[in-house]
Amino acid sequence: MTVQEGRAEVGSPRKRSEDARLITGQTRWTDNLAPAGTLHVAFLRSPFAHARITRVDTSEAARSPGVVAVFSGADFADEQGSLPCAWVVTEDMKHPDHPPMAVREVRYVGEPVACVVARDKYAAADALEEIDVDYEPLPPVVDMNEAVADGADLVHEELGTNKSYTWVFENGDIDAALRDAPVVIEREYVQQRLIPSAMEPRSVLCVPEADDFTLYSATQIPHILRLMLATVTGIAEHRIRVVAPDVGGGFGSKLQVYGEEVLALLLARRLGRPVKWTESRSEGNMTVHHGRDQIQRLTLAAERDGRIRGFKVDLLADMGAYLMLVTPGIPLLGAFMFNGIYKMDAYSFTCTGVFTTKTPTDAYRGAGRPEATYAVERIMDELAAELDLDPIEVRRRNWIAHEEFPYDTIAGLTYDSGNYEAATDKALELFQYDKLRAEQAERRERNDPVQLGIGVSTFTEMCGLAPSRVLGSLSYGAGGWEHASVRVLPSGKVEVVTGSSAHGQGHETAWAQITADRLGVPFEDVRVLHGDTAISPRGMDTYGSRSLTVGGVALYAACEKVVDKARKVAAHLLEAAEQDLEFSDGRFSVRGVQQEGKTIQEVVLAAWAAHDLPEGMEPSLDSDATFDPDNFSFPHGTHLCATEVDTETGMVKIRKYVAVDDVGKVVNPLIVEGQVHGGLAQGIAQALFEEAVYDEEGNLTTTTMADYLVPSAADLPEFTTDRTETAATSNPLGVKGVGEAGTIASTPAVVNAVVDALRPFGVKDVPMPCSPERVWRAIRDERKPETAEPGAGGGLGSAGGAQ
Amino acid sequence: MTWPDQRAPPQGRLSVKRTLSTPRRPWEKRMPRIRVEVDGATYEDDVEPRLLLVHYLRERLGKVGTPVGCDTSNCGACTVLLDGESVKSCSVLAVQADGADVTTVEGLGVGGTTHPMQRAFHEEHALQCGYCTPGMIMASLDLLRENPDPSDDEVREGLEGNLCRCTGYQNIVKAVRRAAKDMREPAEREVTP
């Protein structure tokens, strides 16, 4: 099949079609929906990090005006089941029960204990105050190092340990690589706990209709949620329809099966009326799953010339109080990424999942790969400093050269394509690297109180989750395919149904571009449907930068099938052999006889009328395809950051940020650039601003956006973005994922720049987020170590490692 | 608890209306009545004094184009214009809007066309999930009211009270500057195809 490239939609910066409703306020957020008779739910949540529930008295609350019902966890003990964990990473993984509403014990601040159902949200909130709960406090477990020590207080008494699992991967002889290595660098980095902070708070509405239920939720995963709701509650899957209407961002936080979703279903069943719950931001900060939270102990062995011999990684990963949908697997997605883009002889990865009395962790933009990329890119800069090499040079000596692809990495992956040299060269030029290095030298020379730092991050990542066989080998509970179907309407218009569930990415535009090219129909003639299990019954949803590389390829394949069917009809109508037809620009014609032809619309109409079809042909061109990738996709790039660090105040200002990304072939450059911008903002936020802080009692002290510092426009620089284009070889579109790349790459680039600015002071690390106080202390502590005080950053670091 | 007595019961109205606004039971306190113009339509309602303007808009009037993103007035998603000035409608009580003119994102544009600010957000790809967009658009209008030709830095400073988690703000800055240009030079814009 040939497509006229002259008018190609793929590759053009189409303005997004979804914007029309978003800029006019006609959006369908879950909280906007309220069918007649809707009741409102409010949850009473634990004020203790760890306590036994000895009594819950709901009688007074039940008498409050407007209250329809009040329930405690005990009232649902027999039907609420246990929230699912789909990733049992080792056979002996400790996997505690996780009731949607606590029954006997609470294990983090914010865990639901009881709920009020009332005629409006004010009445529900009022009645919460009338619920009387007696708690018997138990010791909180806040610090991971203490949690894994002998005799530690336990989060789950019945498990006998706070260790959920230990997972090991080794390749090559790590002991030999470390033994007598000329250069050994040991570091401990803390990936602080983050709160995903999608702008739309979680919201769920469940509408019962006798034995059938429609559950609307601000979720990334309507298909997975449907199956899991059925599994948890015992309500048959075909009785549940899940709709993800417009969803206001997710970043992994809505890749979850939340207790509130399960309870909305159960409440709707019990009360026979629609029930809705929408969280407040303060409630959400405590109860939406958190991200990151690792202590990384790293040992890098290298030769004197900078070539890496081996890398040893030992992680403590905070699970929080329970294992949620993919909690234990998140740090393991990093297991394949700590080697980055580098060649080495040996690699060892050990991860221990640790229970604490904190909000459970799970996927947050990048999920495991940002943590790994941070570690390797930070330590590469340390290696460069140790050897007095330029950080770019030390990377050049180790990275996989473009002619070496496909390349089997030490972590067991096959990188299909890449060109690290090209991306780096482009970034260096845009950044004016040499000029900034000269300025840095000059500022150092004259002891400028504002020092310039330059940070490098040459990253890759694995995304497009995922080949089902790989997921199976990692004991994940599901496959990684995606589904698409194409419905051709008699008027020639096209409906595309995708199993990917968009929540801000722009699928409705990009999918229409792919379809327009493959079918040769106008972009405007394509409508994309998603996010409703009744409309799109098959899907694996959206996360892990998978939509385009898996779902987009499924769509491509479904379009091919439509064209194949249309070709049969066209050949019949034109009284020609199929092989003599060419399809170009939406028109079938007999090769060499251009004037004889049928447009796709004419063929569609003929197939619909079905008056004269080829023998045995069904009167439909509609087609489905399910794509299961053979490999991950491996976007890569070079990010360079220049920071100005005020050594007197500790203030960090990003002076310049250059991101050159290689995401393969691009469907819509506008959307790609937007994804990179947003990713950079979140990665920079981890480096400089954001941290979920718990106090010694296990109280989250960053429950609001006044305490948890999501950056504003004034906090971020203007980015310079560009691309190189090395096509992925693992799919026919040549595309790679882009959703998480910016977040993965940028955090180490920024921290490397901060540390680079402070090298003259002997500073080798500044814990994240590099707040003015931490930067200031890092400088002073190096000067006078005896004056070092605990608690840098204003609180107990979430992982306990930042004291 | 005593409700602040907003105003005397309306006089000289139809008796049926008086009946509705009169407490049905002696222990029920009378709710204040407000009269608000929202996006060109006039509403008169009895509201609880504690009712937030954003909840009044969303739940009483069905104006759900204005979303709620936080509960501490940090995110700005709920920004509307109150008598032409931007306010976060989560930190204004409905009773405080009594007698005022409220414009939400739904009230922009006339005769089926969109406002230049809305168009600029679309043209510059200044939104992804779109949840912050209504508030971002309304705050940007107020920004341009005070400064019709802001620099990049002035836009960034001016929108400090509105958070976006998707875009990294770069395209929002471009959109606001584009809208500023279009709004300063409307005539020129009309002749530009």
Does residue B127 sit in the same domain as residue B67?
A: no
Higher pLDDT, residue A791 or A364: A364
The verdict on a CB contact (< 8 Å) between A713 and B155 is yes
CATH number, domain A33-138+199-249+254-287: 3.90.1170.50
Residues of chain A positioned with their CB less than 8 A from the CB of B118: 23-24
CB pairs under 8 A between A and B: 181
Contact B54, B135 (CB under 8 A): no
- Torsion angle, alpha carbons of B120, B126, B132, B134, to 10: 10
pLDDT band at B28 (very low <50, low <70, confident <90, very high): low
B4 in a structural domain: no
B111 in a structural domain: no
Angle subtended by helix axes A433-445 and A420-431, to nearest 10: 50
Contact A497, A506 (CB under 8 A): no
Q: Is B100 on the interface with A (CB under 8 A)?
A: no
pLDDT band at B29 (very low <50, low <70, confident <90, very high): low
Q: Is B171 on the interface with A (CB under 8 A)?
A: yes
Give me the residue from B118, B129, B169 closest to A199, CB to CB: B129
- The shortest C-alpha distance from B98 to chain A (Å) reads 21
Does residue B168 sit in the same domain as residue B137?
A: yes
- CATH number, domain of B143, equals 1.10.150.120
The verdict on a CB contact (< 8 Å) between B129 and A24 is no
Query: Would you call A78 exposed, middle or buried from its count of C-beta atoms within 10 A (0-12, 13-18, 19+)?
Result: exposed
Residues of chain A positioned with their CB less than 8 A from the CB of B155: 713
Residues of chain A positioned with their CB less than 8 A from the CB of B170: 677, 716, 718-719
Residues carrying CATH 3.30.365.10, chain A: 5-26+481-627, 291-465+631-787
Task: Count the neighbouring beta carbons within 10 Å of the beta carbon of residue A150.
Answer: 4
In this structure, what token pair is assigned to residue A611? Answer: 């008056």
Query: Would you call B146 exposed, middle or buried from its count of C-beta atoms within 10 A (0-12, 13-18, 19+)?
Result: exposed
The verdict on a CB contact (< 8 Å) between A670 and B125 is yes
Does residue B126 sit in the same domain as residue B180?
A: yes
Last residue of a domain, one of B72, B104, B136: B104
The answer on pLDDT for A336 being more than 60 is: yes
The 10s digit of each residue's pLDDT in A538-595 is 999 999 999 999 999 999 999 999 999 999 999 999 999 999 999 999 999 999 888 8
Query: Chain B: residue nearest A122 by CA?
Result: B51
The answer on pLDDT for B17 being more than 70 is: no
Interface test with B, best of A14, A15, A22 (most B CBs within 10 A): A22
Does residue B81 sit in the same domain as residue B21?
A: yes
**Least trusted range by pLDDT, from A86-100, A767-781, A787-801:** A787-801
The verdict on a CB contact (< 8 Å) between A674 and B167 is yes
The verdict on a CB contact (< 8 Å) between A247 and B129 is yes
The verdict on a CB contact (< 8 Å) between B169 and A713 is yes
Average of per-residue pLDDT values in chain A: 95
The verdict on a CB contact (< 8 Å) between A200 and B64 is no
For A505, phi then psi, to 5°, come to -75, -35
Which helix (H) or strand (E) segment is A54 a member of? strand A51-57
Distance in angstroms (rounded) separating the CA atoms of residues B31 and B14: 19
* Mean pLDDT value across residues A464-471: 94
* Mean pLDDT value across residues A636-644: 98
Greatest CA separation found in chain B? 66
pLDDT at A781: 83
B144 in a structural domain: yes
Contact B165, A198 (CB under 8 A): yes
Last residue of a domain, one of B77, B104, B131: B104
Query: Would you call A184 exposed, middle or buried from its count of C-beta atoms within 10 A (0-12, 13-18, 19+)?
Result: middle
Provide CB contacts within 8 A for A472, sequence distance 6+.
A479
- The shortest C-alpha distance from B128 to chain A (Å) reads 5
- The shortest C-alpha distance from B64 to chain A (Å) reads 6
Residues of chain B positioned with their CB less than 8 A from the CB of A678: 128, 165-168
Nearest residue to A795 via CA among A686, A708, A687, A683:
A708
> The complex's ipTM?
0.96
Does residue B71 sit in the same domain as residue B36?
A: yes
B1 in a structural domain: no
pTM of the entire structure?
0.94
Give me the residue from B64, B75, B164 closest to A32, CB to CB: B64
Residues of chain A positioned with their CB less than 8 A from the CB of B51: 122
B128 in a structural domain: yes
Does residue B20 sit in the same domain as residue B91?
A: yes
Does residue B79 sit in the same domain as residue B122?
A: no
Query: Chain B: residue nearest A17 by CA?
Result: B122
pLDDT band at A519 (very low <50, low <70, confident <90, very high): very high
Does residue B97 sit in the same domain as residue B122?
A: no
pLDDT at A6: 52
The verdict on a CB contact (< 8 Å) between B68 and A31 is yes
The verdict on a CB contact (< 8 Å) between B69 and A199 is yes
Nearest residue to A256 via CA among A235, A234, A284:
A284
The verdict on a CB contact (< 8 Å) between A503 and B129 is yes
Distance in angstroms (rounded) separating the CA atoms of residues A653 and A655: 6
Does residue B137 sit in the same domain as residue B95?
A: no
Ramachandran quadrant class, A412 (left: phi over 0; alpha: psi -120 to 50; beta: rest): left
Which helix (H) or strand (E) segment is A261 a member of? helix A259-271
Average of per-residue pLDDT values in chain B: 87
Question: Does the A291-465+631-787 domain belong in CATH 3.30.365.10?
Answer: yes
- The shortest C-alpha distance from A720 to chain B (Å) reads 10
The answer on pLDDT for B25 being more than 90 is: no
pLDDT band at B11 (very low <50, low <70, confident <90, very high): very low
Does residue B131 sit in the same domain as residue B69?
A: no
- The shortest C-alpha distance from B11 to chain A (Å) reads 30
CATH class for the region spanning A5-26+481-627: alpha beta
Query: Chain A: residue nearest B129 by CA?
Result: A504
- C-alpha of A188 from chain center: 25
pLDDT band at B112 (very low <50, low <70, confident <90, very high): confident
pLDDT at B21: 43
The 10s digit of each residue's pLDDT in A619-629 is 999 999 999 99
- Residues 127 to 146 of B: which have CB under 8 A from any A CB? 127-134, 137
Show the DSSP H helices in B11-132 as ranges: 15-21, 53-55, 116-123
pLDDT at A795: 40
Does residue B82 sit in the same domain as residue B132?
A: no
The answer on pLDDT for A19 being more than 60 is: yes
pLDDT at A593: 85
Residues of chain A positioned with their CB less than 8 A from the CB of B134: 25
Residues carrying CATH 3.90.1170.50, chain A: 33-138+199-249+254-287
pLDDT at B10: 40
- The shortest C-alpha distance from A169 to chain B (Å) reads 35
Give me the residue from A280, A504, A716 closest to B168, CB to CB: A716
Residues of chain B positioned with their CB less than 8 A from the CB of A505: 128
Residues of chain B positioned with their CB less than 8 A from the CB of A22: 127, 130, 133
Total domain count, chain B: 2
B160 in a structural domain: yes
The 10s digit of each residue's pLDDT in A266-296 is 999 999 999 999 999 999 999 999 999 999 9
The answer on pLDDT for B190 being more than 90 is: no
Pairing of strands A526-529, A291-302: unpaired
Give me the residue from B71, B74, B168 closest to A677, CB to CB: B168
Give me the residue from A16, A25, A503 closest to B106, CB to CB: A25
B109 in a structural domain: no
Q: Is B181 on the interface with A (CB under 8 A)?
A: no
The 10s digit of each residue's pLDDT in A411-444 is 999 999 999 999 999 999 999 999 999 999 999 9
The answer on pLDDT for B192 being more than 60 is: no
Query: A591 by DSSP, 3-state: which?
Result: coil
pLDDT at A240: 98
- Residue A732, CB half-sphere, CA atoms under 13 Å: how many? 14
The answer on pLDDT for B33 being more than 50 is: yes
* Mean pLDDT value across residues A228-257: 98
Domain that holds residue B146: 116-185
Provide CB contacts within 8 A for A288, sequence distance 6+.
A195, A196, A202, A253, A256, A279, A359
Does residue B125 sit in the same domain as residue B76?
A: no
Last residue of a domain, one of B79, B104, B129: B104
B64 in a structural domain: yes
Give me the residue from B122, B132, B168 closest to A199, CB to CB: B132
In this structure, what token pair is assigned to residue A274? Answer: 């629609």
